[in-house]
Amino acid sequence: MILPDLDELAALRGPARGLSLRARRPALARLQGGHRSAQRGRGLEFEEVRLYAAGDDARNIDWRVTARRGRPHTKLFREERERPVWLVADLHPGLFFGSRRQFKSAVLLRAAALLAWVAALGGDRVGAVIVDGANTAQVFPPRGREAGVLPVLEALVTTQPRQPGLPAPGGLHAAVRMLRPLLKPGSLVLLLSDFAGLDQATEDLLAGTTAHNDVRLLWITDPLESGGLPAGNYRVGLPGRLWWLDGERSRTPWQEAWRAREQRLKEMATRLSLPLSRLATHDGVLEALVALLKEPRWAT
C-alpha cells in the first residue's frame, strides 16, 4: 500500500472546490448562520463609535466618549467572517493497518487534507493539533488560505506512522486537552481518529468542548476490525510479539469486543449530540467525503 505524500494531499485542493463545511448548528447562536456569531461570541472587531440610538445594546456604550462629548455614544463592532476550523489528527502507530485498499493512517491523511482545503476555500482559517504514538503534539494556529493548509499537510505526511506499533496510552486525550485552551467560541473541530484510546477522561474533555463549539467526529475503521478473521490459522501481532490465532475460534470474542467499542463511541456521540461519521479503508476517501458533506447534518 502506498503512503500519501505532500503532492497527493496538495492535489486534493481541486476536488475540494464547490464543497462546503457550513456548520450543522452554530454552537453559540442557532439563528446567526454558519459563519456568524452572537454579539459576545467569536471574532468581534471594533469598527467605530457613533451616537447612541434607540435599540442599541446599552452594554456597548462608550462611557469615556459619552463623558467627553456630553451625549451617549455606543461602540459598533464588525463580525469576523472567517471561522476557525481545527483538525485534530490522532496519528498513532495502530493506524498503520489496513486489510483493504489503504492503511487507516492513509484514510486519515486524505480526509484531513480534503477537509482542510474545503475549509480554506470556503473562507475559514485552518488550524490543527497532530499527535503521534508517543503523545508528541504539534500545534498549528488557524491561518487563512494556503498559509493555513500547507504546513498542516507537511506535518501530517511527516507524522504518519511507517511501521506497526502500539500507541502510548492517552494520545487522544492529550490532543483534546491541548486543543481546549486554544479554542475560540464558535470554532469548528473535526476530530479524526479510530477512537481506540477513547476513555472517560477524553469524554469529559469533549463534553466541555462542545458547549461553545461545533465538534464532529470522523471514525477511521477497517472491515477486519468488525468482522474478525476468516477461518484458518494466522500469525498476528507486532514484530517480535507474534502468536498464532485461530480465526474461527477467535471470531465471536473479537466481534463482541468490537461491538462494545462501537456502542461506547455511539453512546457518547448521542449523549453529546456530536455527528459521528465512519470512513473505512475499503472506501474511496474522496467519494465518501463528498457524499458526507452533502448530508443535511454537515451542510444546512
The answer to whether the predicted template modeling score (pTM) of the entire model surpasses 0.85 is no
Q: What is the mean pLDDT of the chain?
A: 84
80 confidence band (pLDDT: 50, 70, 90): low
Residue 39 has pLDDT above 50, yes or no: no
Lowest-pLDDT range, 24-28, 193-197, 285-289? 24-28
Fold that domain 6-25+82-293 belongs to in CATH: Rossmann fold (3.40.50)
**Alpha carbons 254 and 46: distance in angstroms, whole number:** 58
Residue 33 has pLDDT above 70, yes or no: no
Half-sphere exposure of 132 (CA within 13 A, CB side): 14
DSSP string, 133-167: TT--EEEEEEEEHHHHHHHHHHHHHHHS-SS--PP
The arithmetic mean of pLDDT across residues 10-27, rounded, is: 76
Degrees (nearest 5) of the Cα angle 271, 129, 208? 30
Top mean-pLDDT range of 26-30, 216-220, 223-227: 216-220
Per-residue pLDDT, 81: 58
Question: What 3-state DSSP class applies to 259?
Answer: helix
**Per-residue pLDDT tens digits for 230-287:** 777 777 776 777 777 776 777 888 788 889 999 999 999 999 999 999 999 998 998 8
Calculate the dihedral angle through the C-alpha atoms of 202, 203, 205, 207, rounding to the nearest 10 degrees: 170
Per-residue pLDDT, 133: 78
214 confidence band (pLDDT: 50, 70, 90): very high
- Where do the CATH 3.40.50.410 domains begin and end in the chain? 6-25+82-293
DSSP for residue 99: S
Residue 125 grid coordinates: 482559517
**Per-residue pLDDT tens digits for 110-129:** 999 999 999 999 999 999 99
CA distances to 69, 123, 145, 298 from 17, rounded to whole Å, are: 51, 12, 13, 16
Burial label, 206 (beta-carbon count in 10 A; 0-12, 13-18, 19+): buried
Angle at which helix 171-179 crosses helix 200-209, to 10 degrees, equals: 20
Top mean-pLDDT range of 19-23, 78-82, 91-95, 227-231: 91-95
Residue 154 has pLDDT above 90, yes or no: yes
Per-residue pLDDT, 244: 79
Choose among 154, 149, 140, 137: nearest CA to 90.
137
DSSP string, 201-237: HHHHHHHHHTTSSEEEEEEEE-HHHHH-PPSSEEEEE
Per-residue pLDDT, 89: 96
